Structures are given as structure tokens and as C-alpha cells.
A and B are shown apart, each in its own frame.
Chain A
Amino acid sequence: MFDVIIIGGGVAGFSAALFCARRGLGVLVLGKDIGGQANFTDQIENFPGAAPIGGFALISSIKAQAEAYGVKFIQAEVSKIKLAAQAFTVTAYGKQYKAKSLILAYGKTPRDLGVPGENELKGRGVSYCANCDAPLYKNKIVAIAGLGDIAADAALLCSKFAKKVYVLSKTDKLIAHPSLVKAMLRKKNVTLVPFVQIQQILGEQRLSGLGLINLKTGQHYDLPLDALLVELGYVVDSQISKNIVKLDEQEQIIVASDQSTSLPGIFAAGDATNRIYKQAVISAGEGATAALACFDYLMRQQGKHGLTSDWTQIKRVKS
């Protein structure tokens, strides 16, 4: 029996793990992967205090920090959460783990474009992970669907490899941070294609192009391509939380200011929650808050004094 099981191996999950472990709690982290969405960013330059760092490297360092205080990590996807008296049972890859409390920090999964041809060509020219696939686009022609930071990031990354990068916009601009847009448009091989909508993904065995409509003229035309990167943000896959904690219409976990959910003993942090902004440092802060609120909950369950501040030196398990 663990004091707390944290579901999710991203910034929120490992920050929560770090703060839980420093309170002396027994912590298990279960994650389908290590890194979560930060994996999709090759350089995070806005994590306060940190030199520019790859998303995976940042999370690996937080993981190492948590493990130094005794946190256990198992790479496994959680498929089920069960409630029992005074304990939660979590199933991951067929094994069961028990804990007195849970922190849900499983983030999000990439959102589908939702056009004909997409499902058939996923993984065959249609990608949702620039960081994973950009190096495969050497000298290829690719298009980016999406207007936000991650789309601009993806375009920047692809511009290092691809011959040509089209960024498709329904309007004539992006909603990404101005600094990112500026950097993106400075690349000679990146072109913003305004006022277009993707109607269909073309191809038999592999993607061969896109069926587009010009929203100004109403004209249909085909754009031949080697690959499409769908960068429309992420959706919550909250299957495991359904009927356990309250979710909003977008299936995001509804949290109070202390990161508690509708069920006592379950806390949530990071992109899986209904907070509107999704940034690494916000996830890290929420992970810390969830951990301290969880510690407070566990102490009170035992009739003990709750939260204290966290300035002290605590002995490390490993050096």
C-alpha cells in the first residue's frame, strides 16, 4: 500500500512526486511515457530559472530529483481506478496497485483533425508528434494544421529538416506567441497559407496530399504533400476518471484552488485539469500544490496536524 499513487509521468506528476516524497510519503508514479506533452517541445526556454532545455531533459531531471527522495516509477498505462473503503486500487498493464490517495496528472492526448481520410492514414503520413517525426521529413514537403504555440514550434522544428513547410490557417494569422510567429516566418522554407481549410486527407496506402478549400474564393484544390502534422492541441482522455471525479464538458478534471477534486483523497494537477493555461511551470506549481494538499489530507485522516512549510533539509534516500 502506497500513501499516494500519481498517474502521469510529466511535469505535474514528477513535481507532485518530489513534494510528496519530501514529506516522507511513499510514492508510486505510473506513466504511459516519461515526459508527457513536454516531449513534444525540443527547447523549453520559459521554465523559470532553467537554461534552455529540451522537454524530455527537463522532465528527466525532475524525475531524477523525485527519485532521489525515494519515488518509485513504473512505466505502465493505467486502465482502471477502483474505489474501496479507505483505499484506491489502480490497474495498469494487468497489475493492481493500492494507495490511500491519488494524484491525477495524466495530461492530454493530441486532438484529431476530424476529416475524412485521417483515421486511415494515421501513422502513414499523418502525425501528431513533431518531435518524434520531424527528423523523418528530411527534404520532404510537409504541412502543419494548427495555429497555436505548438503549431509554430512544430513548423520551426520541421524547417530544420523539410524542404518546404506549409502552415495552414483559416484566417491570415496564427494565435501563437508573437515571438514564435516572428521566428517561424523568418525561416525561408516556411510559408503561411492563409484562408484555407482542410477538407480531406488524400492517399491510399500513404498520405499523398490534402484536399483544401480557399475560404475567400470557395475554390477547391489539392495540395500534394509527403506528410501532415496535426498540431491542434490536446484533448483529455479521461476514461479512467469517469464516474469517479467530476469532469467538465471537455472531460477535464474540475479542481478547486488546492487541486482537490470532487472526491476526497483524489487530487489533480497539470493539463488534465480544467485550468485554462497549459504551461510547464504552471503544471509544476500545480503538482507541488496537489502534493502538499494531499499530504495535508493524509495527515488529517490520521488525526495529525496538517500542512507545514517546506524549507527544511530532508535526508535524501540516494545522494
Chain B
Amino acid sequence: MDMDTHKLIIIGSGPAGLTAALYAARANLEPLVIAGLTFGGQLMITTDVENYPGFPEGIQGPDLMQKMIAQAEQFGAKIIYEDVTKVDFSKPPFQIWVDTNLYSTKSVILATGASNIWLGLPSEEKLRGKGVSACATCDGFFFKDKEIIVVGGGDAAMEEALYLTKFVKKVTILNRSDKLRASKIMQDRVFAHPKITIEYNKVVEEFLGDEKLIGVKIRDIKQARAEERATEGAFIAIGHKPNTEVFQGQIDLDQKGYIVPIDQTKTNIPGVFVAGDVRDYHYRQAVTAAGMGCMAALDAEKYLGADQG
């Protein structure tokens, strides 16, 4: 049991959380970062980051996150690699549990980001990491010269498919309707690529295999017909969802589960702030998240200052 009441706890450790930690630490708020068991956020599964300002040569996502962690720690942020299991924001000090460990804090910054959405099939869960993936940039290399499938019809799916063509022999995109949702520029690139074919009105019903993926069962929704097709790799790219399960009922969320921001980083609860992809489904860039993390820390600092009179 951690008995002290912290000034500030930051939940999440992507660019938003770690930038908040950096600024809060520099302001002597002695922030505690509850980073999560899978820390670092979506950049940990991103290879070349070419659009983070100040890195003209580009940087690997995990390298950038290691730099941010080191920088936050250098200024005194404390980081623990645990998952938050329960929160109580009903009144200050706010209560945050990691299993049975309770942390109490005067202010909180929520920066838990967003994660990939999965199809939700039992066979998908069984074969995750064994041929079924949601991250072409992490796992694409393992499918060198194979024929693989990509599930989805938005920009993310097009990007995954195009990225995978660097390694694989052939990519088949399975799209559940008769039209892609992706932007024209991305569609044009996919249509023009000799390694990519698109099949419409197709959904995956089951992933086949025990130890590793050997094929998928595909249903044609127009023809009401199913077929099995051999493949060793399947990439799911049907979008992202905010990581807010643990905050449900504690703070205002929108229909999609994103935290509703007020004036950038405030929420409906004074003392609870928000930054990054967990409140932003439009821009979702490392640097936009970092900018918001900075604002959230400064807002928290101001809130704590007012609190102390």
C-alpha cells in the first residue's frame, strides 16, 4: 500500500503521457507514471517515424519512446510498469488501484491512448502472434515471400497492405462491403500495386490452425457462401479504439468511448486531465499527442497551484 497522496499521477506512457511527465517533473510535481505492462504506446509498434519534428533523419518508434522515458526520468518522474485495474474519481483525492495496491492523488492525467480493434473471434485470439497480427510494421518481416491477407477497407488497411508488399509475395485485402472506405489517394496506390488484390463483400469467419495459422475461412456475404483459403499471415486493420474501459462510469466518454475534452485537456472532473489519442480520433500524431501532454501538465500545475492557495 502506497500511503502518500501524490500531487499528480499520469496513466499511460505514450508521447502524451511521457511529455506530461517531463513537464510535471520539471515543475517539481514529482509525477508518478503508471505506464502499463505494454508501455510506450502505439509508437512501440511503429518502425520509421519520419514526421516527428526535430528528427530530420527519422527515428524508430521504440527509440523515440526510450528517449522520452529517459528524459522524463532524468527530471525526476517515477515510472512503474503496471496496469491500472480500477479508479475512483468521485471526489479528490482520486483513488487509483493497481490490483490491490491503492494510489491516492490530487490530480490525474489520463493518457492511455488507443489500441487496435480485433474481429473478436475465439480463433483470432488463439492465433494472435502465431500468424494473426494487427501490426504490419512489427510482424511484416516474418512473412517474407508469403501470400497473406489484410482485413479492412479504410486507410489503415491500405497502409498495412502497401507496407507489407515490401516483404510478401502477394497481399489479398478482404473488404466487408462492396466499396472501400479509404481515401482516394490510398485506393489509387493500392489499385496500382501489382502485388495487391482486393476482394469485396468478404468477411473472415474463422482463423484455422492450432499452433500457427494455416488458413482462413472466408464468407462471401452476397453469395452466402464460405470457402477455406490457405495462408500463413493475416493482418487485422479495422481501426482503433480508445483505452478507456477502466474509466467507464468515472468520467464523461463519447459514444465511441473517447474521453470528452473540455478546453483542450480538461474533463468534466476538475483535477482530472486528458491528453493524446484517448481523446483525439482525428489527428493521432506523436507530436500532437506530445503537445497535448505538455498542455495537460501545465493545466495540472495550475490546478494544483490554485488548490494550495
> Chain A residue with minimal CB distance to B181?
A305
Residue A251 lies at the interface, judged by CB distance under 8 Å to chain B: no
Name B23's contact: one of A15, A46, A284, A286 (CB within 8 Å): A46
Which of A1-9, A86-94, A106-114, A306-314 contacts its partner?
A306-314
Contacts of A14 in B (CB 8 A): 53
| Whole-angstrom CA separation of A275 from B265 in the bound complex | 12
> Binary interface profile of A, 15-31, with partner B (CB < 8 Å = 1, else 0)?
10011001010000000
CB of A257 within 8 A of CB of B51, answer no
Residue A218 lies at the interface, judged by CB distance under 8 Å to chain B: no
| Whole-angstrom CA separation of A292 from B285 in the bound complex | 10
Contacts of A268 in B (CB 8 A): none
Contacts of B51 in A (CB 8 A): 18-19, 22, 288, 310
Residue A216 lies at the interface, judged by CB distance under 8 Å to chain B: no
Contacts of B28 in A (CB 8 A): 178-179
Residue A285 lies at the interface, judged by CB distance under 8 Å to chain B: yes
Q: Given A282-B294, A282-B295, decide whether A310 and B285 contact each other with a Cβ distance below 8 A.
A: yes
Residue A50 lies at the interface, judged by CB distance under 8 Å to chain B: yes
| Whole-angstrom CA separation of A314 from B284 in the bound complex | 18
Q: Given A179-B28, A308-B182, A309-B155, decide whether A288 and B50 contact each other with a Cβ distance below 8 A.
A: no
Contacts of A51 in B (CB 8 A): 67
Q: Given A22-B51, A281-B19, A308-B155, decide whether A68 and B56 contact each other with a Cβ distance below 8 A.
A: yes
Residue B27 lies at the interface, judged by CB distance under 8 Å to chain A: yes
B interface, by DSSP: helix, strand, loop or mixed?
helix
Residue B102 lies at the interface, judged by CB distance under 8 Å to chain A: no
Contacts of A179 in B (CB 8 A): 26-28, 75
Which of A57-65, A131-139, A152-160, A226-234 contacts its partner?
A57-65
How many Cβ-Cβ contacts under 8 Å join chain A to chain B? 141
Residue A11 lies at the interface, judged by CB distance under 8 Å to chain B: yes
Residue B290 lies at the interface, judged by CB distance under 8 Å to chain A: yes
| Whole-angstrom CA separation of A13 from B268 in the bound complex | 33
CB of B52 within 8 A of CB of A49, answer yes
> Chain A residue with minimal CB distance to B263?
A257
Residue B79 lies at the interface, judged by CB distance under 8 Å to chain A: no
Residue A186 lies at the interface, judged by CB distance under 8 Å to chain B: no
CB of A101, distance to nearest CB on chain B (Å): 17
Counting chain B residues whose Cβ lies within 8 A of the other chain, the interface size class is 35 or more
Residue B287 lies at the interface, judged by CB distance under 8 Å to chain A: yes
| Whole-angstrom CA separation of A272 from B137 in the bound complex | 38
Residue A127 lies at the interface, judged by CB distance under 8 Å to chain B: no
| Whole-angstrom CA separation of A161 from B56 in the bound complex | 33
In chain B, residues 235-285, which have Cβ atoms closer than 8 Å to a Cβ of chain A?
261, 264, 282-285
CB of A3, distance to nearest CB on chain B (Å): 14
Contacts of B185 in A (CB 8 A): 24, 308
> Chain B residue with minimal CB distance to A179?
B26
CB of A309 within 8 A of CB of B291, answer no
| Whole-angstrom CA separation of A247 from B75 in the bound complex | 37
CB of B267, distance to nearest CB on chain A (Å): 14
> Chain A residue with minimal CB distance to B282?
A307
Contacts of B295 in A (CB 8 A): 275, 277, 282
CB of A284 within 8 A of CB of B291, answer yes
CB of A281 within 8 A of CB of B56, answer no
CB of B15 within 8 A of CB of A309, answer no
Contacts of A308 in B (CB 8 A): 155, 182-183, 185-186
Residue A77 lies at the interface, judged by CB distance under 8 Å to chain B: no
Contacts of B182 in A (CB 8 A): 305, 308
| Whole-angstrom CA separation of A50 from B59 in the bound complex | 11
Residue B309 lies at the interface, judged by CB distance under 8 Å to chain A: no
| Whole-angstrom CA separation of A318 from B195 in the bound complex | 27
Residue B145 lies at the interface, judged by CB distance under 8 Å to chain A: no
Residue B163 lies at the interface, judged by CB distance under 8 Å to chain A: yes
Can you pick out 28 interface pairs between chain A and chain B where the beta carbons lie within 8 Å of each other?
A48-B18, A48-B19, A48-B68, A48-B290, A48-B294, A49-B290, A50-B67, A51-B67, A61-B56, A178-B27, A178-B28, A257-B261, A257-B264, A275-B264, A277-B294, A279-B23, A281-B291, A284-B290, A285-B290, A288-B51, A288-B288, A292-B285, A304-B184, A309-B155, A309-B156, A309-B159, A310-B51, A313-B50
Report A's interface with B, CB cutoff 8 A. 11, 14-15, 18-19, 22, 24, 46-51, 53, 58, 61-62, 64-65, 68, 177-179, 257-258, 275, 277, 279, 281-289, 292, 299, 304-314
| Given A61-B55, A61-B56, A65-B54, 19 new contacts (CB under 8 A) | A19-B285, A24-B185, A49-B15, A49-B54, A51-B67, A58-B54, A178-B28, A279-B23, A284-B290, A284-B291, A285-B290, A287-B53, A288-B51, A288-B53, A288-B285, A289-B285, A289-B291, A313-B163, A314-B50
Per CB-CB distance, the 9 closest pairs between chain A and chain B, nearest first, are A285-B291, A65-B56, A308-B155, A305-B183, A48-B19, A62-B53, A285-B288, A49-B67, A282-B291
